[in-house]
Amino acid sequence: MEILHITNGDAVGQTLQSAGFTPLLIWRDVLHEGPIPAGADEAELDQARAHFLASRGWTQLADVQKDFAYRRQTLDGLNPETQVVLWFEHDLYDQLQIWQIVHDLAGRQKLDKTELICIGSHPEIQPFFGLGQLNAKQLSALYPQRVPLAAEWISTWTQAWAAFQNNPLDLNTLTDPDCPFYAENRLRLMQEFPDLESGINLTERLILTAVSQEVTRLGDVFRWVHRKEAAPFMGDLSFFASVEGLIEPEPSLLTGIGAEINDPACQLLLTELGRAVLMGQAHAEEHRRLDRWLGGAHLTNRKGIRFDRKNEALVLI
C-alpha cells in the first residue's frame, strides 16, 4: 500500500526520512501570522500566503511558490488507495496546520484512509516541545500508535479552519472537549487577537511582562516567554516580528538598543507608554497604529475582532 507521510517541518522531516518514512510532504507555513483571505480558494490562498511569508523576509517568493505548488500537486495526485499519515504535535503552530490539512483532504474526499500521530509529551524527552527533538528510533516507535481520524474530529477541524478563514467569531461556538489538543489551541488562537482592555495580544503582554521584570536581552526574553507558554509555538522569526511590532511604529511600547532588533543580543527597554499599557493605565490603540492580519480578520484601530479576556471569547467592535 502506498503511504504519504505529512509533517510540520524540516528538522523532523529529515529524521523521518532517515527512518524510512517516505514519501514525505513537509507542511511549511506559519499560519498564526498574516492573512488567510476569506473566501479564497486553494490557489488564491497559496498566493496570498506566499507573498506574505516573502514580505516578512522569511523565505524567497519563488521558493515558497514552488513549495506550495508541489504541496498541492502531491495532494491532487493521491490515488484512492493511498494512506495518509499525519505526524504532528500539540502546539498552535501544528494544530493550525492540522486544521488546514484536514480541511483540504476533506475537499478531496481523502480522509477515510488518513491516520494521525499527535503527541504532547514523550517519556524520554523532558521538557518536550516537539517531534523535532526525537531521534529516528523514537519516531519509529510512535508509528504503531497512529489512529484513524474520528468523524467528530474531522468535523471540528474542518469547521475551525473555515471559521479561522472566513469568520473567526464562529470559533466562539466551535467547542469540542474530546478533540485532541483542540480546546487549548482554540483559546490560544483567540488570545492572539488584541484584547479589549489593552489593545495588545497575549504574546505582546508576555514580552512586555518579561522586560518589566528585567529580562531584557532579546534571546532571554524569547526563552522566558517560551517557558510561560503551556505549549510553546513560536519560532524565533515570528517572535522577533512580535517584538518589532512593539517597537515600530512609534510611539513605541519597547525600545531596542545595542544591536539589531532581530539579534538575540539586542537589549529591550520598556517605554513609558509600554509600562502604562502593561499596567492597564493606557490603551495601545489610542496611541499607536494597528494594521495586521490574523487569519481572515483584518485588525485596524478600534475596528474588527478583539479578545474579551474576562469571558474568553472573541467580540466584534
Q: State whether 159 and 208 are in the same domain.
A: no
Residue 274 domain-assigned (yes or no): yes
Residue 164 forms beta bridges with which residues? none
Closest CA to 32 of 204, 234, 206: 234
Residue 59 domain-assigned (yes or no): yes
Q: What whole-number distance in Å separates Cα of residue 178 and Cα of residue 19?
A: 31
CATH at residue 120: 3.40.50
Q: State whether 156 and 268 are in the same domain.
A: no
- The helix/strand/coil state of 160 is helix
Q: 20-53: string of b/e by CB count within 10 Å (b at 16+)?
A: ebeebbbbbbbbbbbbbbeebebeebbebbbebb
Q: What is the pLDDT of residue 261?
A: 84
Closest CA to 203 of 92, 108, 84, 61: 92
Over the stretch 278-311, which tens digit does the pLDDT of each residue have?
Answer: 999 999 999 999 999 999 999 999 889 999 999 9
Q: State whether 33 and 158 are in the same domain.
A: yes
Residue 181 domain-assigned (yes or no): no
**Helix, strand, coil fractions of the chain, as percent rounded to 5:** 45, 15, 40
HSE-up of residue 119 (Cα within 13 Å, Cβ side) = 21
Q: What is the pLDDT of residue 273?
A: 98
Q: What whole-number distance in Å separates Cα of residue 215 and Cα of residue 105?
A: 44
Taking CA 78 as the corner, what is the angle to CA 77 and CA 80, rounded to the nearest 5 degrees?
130
Q: State whether 110 and 226 are in the same domain.
A: no
Q: What whole-number distance in Å separates Cα of residue 36 and Cα of residue 3?
A: 29
pTM (2 d.p.):
0.97
Burial class (CB in 10 A: 0-12, 13-18, 19+), 80: exposed
* CA distance readout (Å), 296 to 1, 66, 195, 203: 38, 24, 17, 19
Residue 185 domain-assigned (yes or no): no
Residue 98 has phi, psi (to 5 degrees) of -60, -45
What is the residue-level pLDDT of the chain in tens, covering all 317 positions? 899 999 999 999 999 999 999 999 999 999 999 999 999 999 999 999 999 999 999 999 999 999 999 999 999 999 999 999 999 999 999 999 999 999 999 999 999 999 999 999 999 999 999 999 999 999 999 999 999 999 999 999 999 999 999 999 999 999 999 999 999 999 999 999 999 999 999 999 999 999 999 999 999 999 999 999 999 999 999 999 999 999 999 999 999 998 888 899 999 999 999 999 999 999 999 999 999 999 999 999 988 999 999 999 999 99
Query: Strand 34-35 vs strand 24-26: parallel, antiparallel, or unpaired?
Result: unpaired
Q: What is the pLDDT of residue 137?
A: 98
Residue 236 domain-assigned (yes or no): yes
CATH at residue 203: 1.10.10.10
Q: What is the pLDDT of residue 13?
A: 97
Q: What whole-number distance in Å separates Cα of residue 259 and Cα of residue 219?
A: 12
Number of domains in the chain: 2
Q: State whether 32 and 169 are in the same domain.
A: yes
3-class SS string, 83-98: EEEEEEECCHHHHHHH
Q: What is the pLDDT of residue 180?
A: 97
Which residues touch 314 (CB under 8 Å, ≥6 apart)?
Answer: 168, 169, 171, 172, 190, 193, 305, 306, 307, 308
User: DSSP character for 80?
Assistant: T
Q: Is residue 200 within 8 Å of 194, Cβ to Cβ?
A: yes
Q: What is the pLDDT of residue 259?
A: 84
Residue 310 domain-assigned (yes or no): no
Residue 307 domain-assigned (yes or no): no
Q: State whether 152 and 17 are in the same domain.
A: yes
Q: What is the pLDDT of residue 119?
A: 98
Q: State whether 62 and 135 are in the same domain.
A: yes
Q: State whether 160 and 258 are in the same domain.
A: no
Over the stretch 239-274, which tens digit does the pLDDT of each residue have?
Answer: 999 999 999 999 999 999 988 888 999 999 999 999
Residue 93 domain-assigned (yes or no): yes
Closest CA to 290 of 276, 279, 280, 304: 304
For residue 210, the enclosing domain spans 195-289
Q: State whether 123 and 207 are in the same domain.
A: no
Q: State whether 28 and 147 are in the same domain.
A: yes
Residue ending a domain, among 121, 139, 173, is: 173
- Residue by residue, DSSP assigns 260-310 as -TTSTT-EEEE-HHHHHHHTTSS-GGGTS--EEEEETEEEETTBSEEEETT
Phi-psi region of 17 (alpha: psi -120 to 50; beta: other; left: phi over 0): alpha
The one-letter code for the residue type at 221 is V
